[in-house]
Chains A and B, each alone.
Chain A
Amino acid sequence: MLLEADDLNVRYGRNHAVRHVSLSVDEGEIVTVLGANGAGKSSLLKALQGTAGATADALRFRGQDISSRSAQKRVRSGLVMVPEGRQIFVSLTVHDNLLMGAYCRRDSDVAKDIEGVYERFPNLAQRRTMPASVLSGGEQQMLAISRALLARPVLMMLDEPSLGLSPILVNQLFELIVALNRDGLSILLVEQNTHKALQTASRGYVLELGRVVAEGTPDQLRAGEKLEAAYLGAG
């Protein structure tokens, strides 16, 4: 197992946002976490990244216990998040945003990897010296993903990447996710777009009020009633 969390809990004061969640991602997998607003999806990702306080029976990444590691160290070991709402550095140039992704790296391949990003996204190449604030929503999402790629992730966690994108861009985004996965990147995808997420993922979890109420292959999840119930708030 690449990532394994056992009985993970996140509490904000008296609010128990993530309750006893056990989840795993295997190497080469695309795993999706589905659920309505407030189901605890983002809190779960933040806990895995280390930016939200969490308790867990076990939290292992690449076979090592990471529960006491800082978020920075988790990034360095290859666990990289693309945060919700993209959160690119708006006044920095596109190029500097990419450099920030590689901030921890000491190797000499950074320039080569950035060129790789520019080849994949000609739009970013064209605006490399412009502040990132001039980019469109879709381009900003590409930049956020590229920035994460430059940190050399082994597992990339995406928090609602399709939020606010047009249908065409959503399709492009999911094509990109599949392409990255084919290149060997494992992916943990939190999404509201259930349809696209289940098309792309090999396994999924359904969260409801912080609990895992269903898990399995996309077919199993589609067949079960938990998925619909989780969104409609029946339960």
Chain B
Amino acid sequence: MSGYWTGIVAILCFNIVVAYSVFLPAAAGQLNLGAAGFVAIGAYTSGYLSTDVGLAMWLTIPIAALATGAVAFLISFPMLRTRGVYMVLATLAFAEIVQGIYINLEIFGAAAGYPVAAFAELDIIAPITILVILFVVFLMATRFGLSMRAVHDDERVASLFGVNTRMTKVAAFTLGGVIAGIGGAIWAHQFNYVEIQHFNILLSTFVLLYVLIGGTQTPYGPLVGAVFFTLLPEFLRVSNEWRFVIFGVIIVLMMVVRPEGLVTRTLVERFYGLFWRRGRTAVADR
């Protein structure tokens, strides 16, 4: 693989992981526009542990994940008091606060950025990414995954049938934080330099787009969304001046044509149906 493509795949891995961090709360009905804030915490934590403490990557990445998860857990309580568009604003405000804090912290190099000692190549980043994907796919198939999706559809009825809705939302938000921490650590160790300017509103917006346009109904949506939106600009490079226009038009078209996202449960079902029929009549009559 050429250096160019190695770089693209590394970014792709980062985008996929961060997309899953936003997907988990979204699957339980919470829109998180603060992904950049959580990613920044993960990146700085792993960077600090690597450069200043001298820990190895097999420690810095999990610790960064847990630290970010802990922050997510703590802020989930005030955050989940808000709903819908107010939650979007609250998470956005959180990310801005995180950015404001790091840009003023001298120990992390403030606005100049912070160097990270250990370097992670694709042979570390790619397996981590695959593990994250498998974890989320597995999680969504469990009883907890079922309760998340039920809360997404109707919180009141879900609670009637015995789901602890508050616990479900806190857990989804916290797990999202853990995964965002992993994403931040991947970034830190891949680029060996953490600059808070990268973790801005644009990152949060794009990641939320990956998830919403990929689709929140199934755990495959964020994967497809992240791959699609990471590779699309690369293929649009041919018409460099126009690529963001084309990019924007595609986003608008997607929202008009397929508001529930690229990957829906029906689509996944049809896809499975191509390979085995599970002993029932075709679903194609709908």
Contact = CB atoms under 8 A, between A and B. Distances in A.
Contact of A72 (B159, B280, B283): B159
A136 to B, nearest CB: 10
A103 B265 contact: no
Contacts of B149: 89, 91-92, 96
Interface stretch (A21-29, A121-129, A170-178): A121-129
A143 to B, nearest CB: 12
Interface string A79-103: 0010100010111110010011101
A78 interface: no
Nearest to A151: B161
B157 A89 contact: yes
Given A89-B150, A92-B149, A100-B146, A130 B161 contact: no
Chain A, interface residues (CB within 8 Å), range: 20 to 34
Interface in B148-181: 149-150, 152-154, 156-163
Interface in B260-280: 264-266, 269, 278, 280
- Highest count of chain A CB atoms <10 Å: which of B147, B156, B157, B281: B157
Contact of B286 (A49, A100, A134): A134
B217 interface: yes
A137 interface: no
Contact of B160 (A51, A90, A126, A129): A51
A181 B269 CA distance: 36
A87 B157 contact: yes
Q: Summarize B's interface: helix, strand, loop or mixed.
A: helix
A104 interface: yes
A91 B162 contact: no
A92 B149 CA distance: 7
Contacts of B152: 91
Interface residues of B, number: 26
Nearest to B265: A131
A90 B265 CA distance: 11
A169 to B, nearest CB: 19
Contacts of B269: 129-130
Interface in B231-286: 264-266, 269, 278, 280-281, 283, 286
Contact of B154 (A89, A125, A130, A134): A89
Contact of B163 (A51, A81, A103, A130): A103
Interface in B34-67: none
B283 A71 contact: no
Contacts of B264: 131
30 contacts: A49-B160, A51-B156, A71-B159, A72-B162, A75-B160, A75-B161, A83-B160, A87-B156, A89-B149, A89-B150, A89-B153, A89-B157, A89-B158, A91-B153, A91-B217, A91-B265, A92-B153, A96-B146, A96-B149, A99-B146, A100-B158, A103-B146, A103-B161, A104-B162, A129-B278, A129-B283, A130-B266, A130-B283, A130-B286, A147-B161
Given A99-B146, A128-B280, A131-B266, 4 more contacts: A91-B217, A96-B150, A126-B281, A131-B265
Q: Which 9 residue pairs across A and B have the least CB separation, nearest first?
A: A104-B162, A89-B153, A103-B162, A103-B161, A87-B157, A131-B265, A129-B269, A72-B162, A100-B150
Interface of B: 143, 146-147, 149-150, 152-154, 156-163, 217, 264-266, 269, 278, 280-281, 283, 286
